[in-house]
Amino acid sequence: MPVTLTIKQVPDRVADKLRLRAAASHRSLQGELMAILEEAVLQGAPQARQPEPPPYEVKQPAKPASKAVPAHGKRLTLGELWERARRLGPPSKSGSAAIVRKLRDERYGR
């Protein structure tokens, strides 16, 4: 089933150029926009890439996943969540800094 798309607040200069392009192609504005979308999506656009895994190791929790839910079966409070994140995070601030440095060095080829 076709979908109706709406583009809001198109700048005047862009709308004017679209109208000129449509007239040059002997199309309506709707027809020109459809042609642009089809070309971009169906023919010329690159395929979406799969996300790359992080370049650092992600520490797995020490406890099995089955024990991740609190014993009382309710959602974690903010304090409980904070404490769990603190326990599962890097062992120290220097561990976080090491990850950031490694990512920076890989990005800039150091």
Per-residue pLDDT, 20: 92
Sign of the alpha-carbon dihedral angle for 69, 99, 90, 97 = negative
Reply yes or no on whether the pLDDT at 67 is more than 60.
Answer: no
Query: Are 23 and 17 within 8 A, CB to CB?
Result: no
Per-residue pLDDT, 19: 92
Could you tell me the residue ranges of all domains in the chain? 12-44, 75-108
pLDDT tens by residue, 84-105:
877 777 666 677 788 888 888 8
Q: Is 21 exposed, middle or buried (0-12, 13-18, 19+ CB in 10 A)?
A: middle
Reply yes or no on whether the pLDDT at 11 is more than 60.
Answer: yes
Half-sphere exposure for 86 (CA within 13 Å, toward CB):
6
Per-residue pLDDT, 109: 78
Reply yes or no on whether the pLDDT at 57 is more than 60.
Answer: yes
Half-sphere exposure for 10 (CA within 13 Å, toward CB):
11
